Chain A
Amino acid sequence: MSHPILSRRLLLAGMGMAGMSVAPARAQSTPRRGGTLTAIVQPEPPTLVSALNAGAPTGVVSTNIFDGLFSYDWDMGLKPALATRWEVATDGLAITFHLRPNVRWHDGQAFTAEDVKFSLEEVWRKIHPRGRATFANVEAVETPDPLTVVLRLKQPSPVILGALNAYESQILPKHLYAGSDALANPLNLKPIGTGPFRFKEWVRGEHIILERNPDYWDEGKPYLDRIVFRVVPDATARAALLETGQAQYAPYSPVPLTDVARLRALPGIAIETRGYEWISPWLFLEFNLRKPELGDVRVRRAIAHAINRDVIAKTVWHGFGKAAVSTIPSTVTRFHNANVPQYPFDVRKAEALLDEAGHKRGADGMRFAISHDFLPYGDDYRRTGEYVRQALRRVGIDLTLRSQDTPSYLRRVFGEYEFDMSSSWASSFSDPQIGVQRFYWSKTINKGTPWTNASGYASPAMDQVIEAAQRSADPAERTRLFNEMQRLAAEDLPCLPLIELNFFTVHSKKLHDVAMGPDAVYASLKHAWLEG
């Protein structure tokens, strides 16, 4: 019955990530209204407002309740949501948003330009971890009428246009948040938004229930009556729930990678890898350049030659990853540069570089000892570390793995710089200025701040390129600058990109129209519908 869909999926799988630039074909049958969708969110979100907590589980639930000004199409172009159109001034120093009329908050109040102004000035710029940087150049927010917002900028900031969806720049109701301590507002646990679903109940440790918003501005949507997000901490139990049909939707790689092949073979289950292009996650090693051995670029290059990135992608990640060739992933098509220095797997070359750097093998066959703090996000990251350990021991680097819980890891790597080599994954987002530059810019060496430049890499050439890209309003010029940035990154190698991660969503084949855009995982399920 769902054969056309199946073949489309196979086709896309065959094309690999090329699928992202192809608009998906229209679904074969017409959407059906009604039904309750049981979804899985993991782990349980601490709060339900993405503007106040940018964590992934919060994003998955929250973007069904709230809207952004726009969402993204497959080419990372803006698709109207709360705003219907936008204009950028020719000098790049003003951005105007025209808002959608007759939109109401779930409590019946009208949505206006004041809500946008408030969200930007009081929430995104003061509380959001990335919003602070993204909107840093906004000098003033003007609201000439209730449906127009004008951002006055100190310098051109094209980065803003890449951060306007419901997850990254979520619009909060001013009438409920103004004057309060936003982070402590009780509404964060029972939010009121403009989105396609309304908050119904949250039984902590069990489930969150959302109900269809009948007054949603997108006529006829959403199709589902209800979404129940269940909290299921164990991966095997999640697989069992999906397999038995007790849950029909689970984003963010919810089941063990080893189990995917088995699930994929089941008649009622689909594995969807699209919908993560806007976050474009990559996995990389970060070297601590303060350490004598790792401060030597020859050692870093040797390590790059010693690691077979294909093994990591194929064996450790079961194909849910692609060997990285540059620091900006290939899924960020506008900025990706494959034409940078490469370090193919070559043990002999690695050994030669290490010899050249003056690290001869000792009596025990080892050259020097370092430790590796892998990202404590589960077995896949641990196994990546185990592979790296074996690969480096082979060329005479005595690597000890250090395991710890997340706060210990963050404190050790970013708080104290007491590490040799760490592994991290990060979202690139559609603009490198949001996702990638923080690991290479010397001004982001902020001791004590997670997910910043921990390697201590400071290069005037790199800084110059990064800062020029921040100031430039010309898209072609920015692409050229970020290409140069990738070349420098590959040459100096403070971070070694390992793989581009392919996260996936598991869903029932009865659930249609799940991945409708590159940010689908952080977009609402308003297009999704269940077969009867």
Chain B
Amino acid sequence: MRRVARLLLRPRALVGLLLVVGLGAMALGAPWIFPDDPMDMVGSPSMWPGQEEGFWLGTDLMGRDIAAGVFHGARVSLLVGLSAAGIALLLGTAVGAMAGFWGGAADSVLMRFTEVFQTMPPFLFTIAVVAVLGPSIGNVIFAIGITSWPAVARLARGEVMAVRRRDFVDAAICCGTPASGLLLRHVLPNALSPIIVTASVLMATAMLTEAGLSFLGLSDPNLVSWGSMIGGGREALRTHWYMAAIPGVALALAVLGLNLLGDVLDDVMDPRRGA
């Protein structure tokens, strides 16, 4: 425990934790702090931060409150990050674990399947899925999730294979534990730590991808996300740079926090690191 506390108290870890907790707080607090629909035009358009009372981060091209957008956008961006990472983790771990556990022909088939998705240009594939299904928030999440699982699958397969070779698994097999139970109860938990570390990076990447999709005009028009704010603000880049910069900084800080958190998790879960 002392080791964990020491790891958590390092400045990098503290900053990471603070950023992620802040992100969560913004997402949870948004409906109380800004109870109105952030899509509503409430002020004069294109007000600089502080220029008009009540809009401390200014307003966008349509006169919407940027502060409200940033808070509500945190919800959507976090939702995109969490759900897309969740889909990728579930799918990737399932495919990878089965491949690594069973080996042989099953491994071969599953890995070819993974390669099909891995050899396609990931961002293009995401665009194609969103274009086909339509850019609603659910479809964006699905598209990002469905294109980012192969890396997880490879990782999970490797970890499961390594764990499977260890003695305690052989012991469990001797005791007659059924394969599925063995996989779920003994092999996966032991292989999970690097996968969890990947999760935070996956989340960060998903949020960045969502911003990229918005830039290309593929975002849900009924919701405010940081990506759609940056995408919408890019038109005013030369005259009102803050419209893209404010959500951009928010996104960068969130991604930074998630990556730092990933580092911390990595350190905590690797018993060799303690310094």
Contacts and interface: CB of A to CB of B under 8 A. Distances in A.
In their complex, do chains A and B touch, with some C-beta pair under 8 Å?
Answer: yes
Interface of A: 235-236, 239, 256-259, 261-262, 315-316, 374, 376, 378-379, 382-383, 385-387, 389-390, 400-405, 408
A259 B236 contact: yes
Nearest to A409: B134
Nearest to B219: A403
Nearest to B132: A408
Contact of A401 (B46, B222, B236): B222
Contacts of A262: 238-239
B50 interface: no
B134 A402 contact: yes
B170 interface: no
A257 B232 CA distance: 12
A236 B241 CA distance: 12
A315 B62 CA distance: 7
B221 A239 contact: no
Contacts of A389: 39, 222
Interface of B: 39-41, 45-46, 61-63, 131, 134-136, 217-222, 232, 234-240
Nearest to A389: B39
23 contacts: A236-B234, A256-B235, A256-B236, A258-B235, A258-B239, A259-B236, A262-B238, A262-B239, A315-B63, A316-B62, A374-B221, A379-B232, A379-B235, A382-B217, A385-B221, A386-B62, A390-B41, A401-B222, A402-B221, A403-B136, A403-B219, A403-B220, A404-B134
Contacts of A236: 234-235, 237-238
B219 A235 contact: no
B221 A405 contact: no
A271 to B, nearest CB: 15
Nearest to A402: B134
Contacts of B235: 235-236, 256-259, 379
A400 to B, nearest CB: 6
Contacts of A316: 62
Contacts of B238: 236, 239, 259, 262
Contact of B217 (A259, A376, A390): A376
A390 B63 CA distance: 12
B236 A379 contact: no
A291 B236 CA distance: 38
A261 B239 CA distance: 9
B239 A404 contact: no
A400 B62 CA distance: 18
B131 A405 contact: yes
Nearest to A259: B238
Nearest to A378: B217
A408 B136 CA distance: 13
A408 B134 contact: yes
A382 B221 contact: yes
Given A258-B46, A403-B220, A408 B131 contact: yes
A24 B217 CA distance: 39
A236 B92 CA distance: 39
Nearest to A394: B40
A324 B45 CA distance: 23
A195 to B, nearest CB: 35
A377 B189 CA distance: 49
A386 B61 CA distance: 12
B234 to A, nearest CB: 6
